[in-house]
Amino acid sequence: MSAIHQRGRANKRRRQNQSTKSRAAGFQASTSNEKRLLYQTVQNSKLGNDRGTRGGANIDVPFGPTFYPTIEDMEGSPLDYIEKIRPTAQRYGICKIVPPKAWKEKDFFAAKMEIPQKFSTKLQYLHRIQEGVSFGDGEEYNPGSYLRYASEFTKDYKNKEYPDHDLIVQREMENNKIRNGEKQEASNVKTDGNALGSNAIAGNGDSKSDSRRRFIPENLEQDYWDLVENRNREFGVEYGNDVDTHDFGSGFPLSERGRSVYGTFDQEKAKLPDPKFGSEDFYKETWWNLNNIPWTPDSVLRHIKVGINGINVPWMYYGALFTTFCWHNEDNYLYSINYHHKGAPKQWYGVPGTKKDASALEKVFKSYLSMKIRDVPELLHHITTQFSPRLLQNAKVPICKLLQHEGEYVVTFPRAFHGGFSMGPNIGEAVNFATHDWISHGLDANERYRSFRRPAVFSHDRLTFTMAHHLEEQKSYKNCKLLHQEVERVVDEELQLRKKLLALGVRDVTGVIELPPNCLDQLDEDSAEYDDKRLCFACKHICFFSAVACECSRSMVSCLRHSHYMCRCPSERKYLIVWSPEDGLTKTCERVRKRCEVLKSHESLENDTKKGSLAERPNQVDELLKPLPPIAVGVEKDLEDHKNDIIKTDPYVPLPKSIANLKTGVPMNQDLVAAGEVSADEDRDEYMSNRQAVVTLDASDASDDDEIEIIAVIGGKDSPKA
């Protein structure tokens, strides 16, 4: 029944209301489409064959930007930081944020690995992933057993497709040693043409052909799209997506100062100043902890006091080689932030979240599936269709990519489509958030949902009005004005429609029926529960301010836009249920307008005192009109930092506390000697990944890269299986 991977309301549910009902509905709705889509894909595959026989042209997508916050940035609010980088980052749709070297979150990784509970997985067939059909169910795992599966799966592929990888790496290392010994050609390293992001180390005559035989991101990216586009090889992999952090734990240690849904509240600790950067408590309390980010001061979602999985409570993602997150944008066009805890890198693709670019992507999708336009967003909501960046590039849709490594964040901007896949066993975590600039996107999303009869995860009107009742949080004129525009728009429409309906003879029963009032201070469990019961029968809009009902039905309501479709009864049998009386609405409008005025005069005063900022304004606009640089900001440093990376294929096994506490100064060479003594497969895996973790702890301090590489090579080559 839950055969569909639907990230809409079906999955993103408040905890106490895990609904199988809406999952089932989603599934049924899509099955009728499936046959048609399947047929379509067969047609498309005929068109696509010539592409297949060419052996897959190179995927050549430029990298998106990477940003490097300072320790000070990491001590502050991630929302402030993202606001700072937004002018540039938003133009790409996605960006990568790399914490400073001193960020040691992984030393405090908190998710439970070996527990009796199991999560379900999705079985993804890459050769059928362009068809838009639902994913089947895979096996069930706990995090530990999933990672062992993922490791074996990835190693199998590596051994089959890249049997020479370890040999090449070893030979190269020996060459390097010789070269290092002779202390020469330090400048010669990056002369090779394929140096962009490749692990290739120049100096070997045959490095180009070697390069294709290496288990490296460039090759895996090519392999992935060959599998997806050529469809001539069966490839199935199980993906542990949307794993509940309540049952399986977040990767981040939880707050003890009430900053997250599942954390605790220690009154004594809450009185203390924020913990110092780098301490264990810091990782619990930092707003960069994904459990905390929705509750950051200034976060719009802070007012949603009910946990909604995947929206303000993070989800975990357990991946393996080529596990896929298909093209989608976020519910309600929210921002998303994704953290890579452990393991092999994750490949991302993104498209800017402008109306133009997002629509262009949908158009590509539509023409690829040759479907009626109204079906497309519905299909995109199901998130079970992947398609190649090439299709987007052909249609001149701007697209960029990112390779997300351990300890790195990826942020997606409102409405920005994104998709991608993993390159081996890994652990990720993700959550949504919203800043005040999000509000206009929220409105667009809301209108769109109504046009497709898709229930929103939370009421946009309620959130807007809740914001309007917390005006002390509005700090900038620009954002407050956006809020004012939205409140005004909502109220104008509401009052006009009320007038129109009453003129038609619909009765106002406000004085007759007593209704529980809308609680505007927050969006909590009760109010969300209440909202669920007043969905417009036609557009599924949450009737927040008022609704129309009819004597002919006890349960059906409609929004003010759709009452005439509800039944054939004359207007006189219908009545208006009002939760928010007119004067309350207009007063709220007025309050927001006044707040705007205060902020405006405040800001112009500030501008008068420091003349520079007025002059800066036009520049900022110029910045947005400027063509993007040929290479995005941060890309070169990022590639340089990871050019010698080796893709981790071992499962992650938590360190015993005693080792973890050593932190630095673990004698690596002793470990190397001991490695030869381990023989049993399972023990070895465990041993290797423990050791790898120990090495990783040291990695930032180690000046000699060779030592780290040696360890990784032994892990692959000496494996009894190879």
For residue 267, the SS3 value is helix
Quick one: 178 or 552, whose CB is closer to Zn ion? 552
Quick one: 167 or 538, whose CB is closer to Zn ion? 538
Q: List, as one string, the DSSP characters of 153-175.
A: HHHHHHHHH-TTHHHHHHHHHHH
Quick one: 536 or 578, whose CB is closer to Zn ion? 536
Quick one: 243 or 536, whose CB is closer to Zn ion? 536
Rounded to a whole number of angstroms, the minimum distance from the CB of residue 545 to Zn ion is 13
Q: Which residue has the tokens 């264990």?
A: 280
Instruction: Write out the two tokens for 334.
Output: 């929210």
Q: Residue 606, exposed/middle/buried by CB under 10 A (0-12, 13-18, 19+)?
A: exposed
Instruction: Tell me phi and psi for residue 190, to 5 degrees.
Output: -110, 30
Selection from 253, 315, 249, 284 nearest residue 112 by Cα: 249
Rounded to a whole number of angstroms, the minimum distance from the CB of residue 448 to Zn ion is 14
Rounded to a whole number of angstroms, the minimum distance from the CB of residue 450 to Zn ion is 6
Torsion, Cα 183 186 191 195, to 10 degrees, reads: 100
Rounded to a whole number of angstroms, the minimum distance from the CB of residue 440 to Zn ion is 21
The DSSP secondary-structure symbol of 505 reads T
Q: Which residue has the tokens 């895990």?
A: 18
User: What whole-number distance in Å separates Cα of residue 500 and Cα of residue 483?
Assistant: 26
Rounded to a whole number of angstroms, the minimum distance from the CB of residue 117 to Zn ion is 40
Instruction: Write out the two tokens for 99.
Output: 């914490």
SS3 content of the chain, % helix, strand, coil (to 5): 45, 15, 40
Rounded to a whole number of angstroms, the minimum distance from the CB of residue 563 to Zn ion is 8
Instruction: Write out the two tokens for 7.
Output: 């990230």
Quick one: 567 or 675, whose CB is closer to Zn ion? 567
Quick one: 491 or 539, whose CB is closer to Zn ion? 539
Q: Which residues bind Zn ion (CB under 5 A)?
A: 536, 538-539, 541, 550, 552, 559, 561-562, 567, 569
For residue 241, what are the contacts with CB-CB under 8 A and spacing of at least 6?
5, 121, 122, 315, 317, 318, 323, 325
Rounded to a whole number of angstroms, the minimum distance from the CB of residue 441 to Zn ion is 21
Quick one: 405 or 541, whose CB is closer to Zn ion? 541
Quick one: 150 or 550, whose CB is closer to Zn ion? 550
Q: List, as one string, the DSSP characters of 643-675.
A: TT-----SPP-PPPHHHHTT-S---HHHHHHHH
Rounded to a whole number of angstroms, the minimum distance from the CB of residue 580 to Zn ion is 17
The number of C-alpha atoms within 13 Å of 441 and in the hemisphere containing its C-beta is: 23
Quick one: 326 or 506, whose CB is closer to Zn ion? 506
For residue 322, what are the contacts with CB-CB under 8 A and spacing of at least 6?
124, 126, 220, 224, 227, 235, 237, 421, 422, 423
Quick one: 235 or 575, whose CB is closer to Zn ion? 575
Quick one: 436 or 574, whose CB is closer to Zn ion? 574
Rounded to a whole number of angstroms, the minimum distance from the CB of residue 71 to Zn ion is 50
Rounded to a whole number of angstroms, the minimum distance from the CB of residue 525 to Zn ion is 25
Rounded to a whole number of angstroms, the minimum distance from the CB of residue 552 to Zn ion is 3
Q: List, as one string, the DSSP characters of 71-127.
A: HHHHHS-HHHHHHHHHHHHTTTSEEEE---TT--GGGG-----S-S--EEEEEEEGG
Radius of gyration of the chain (CA): 27
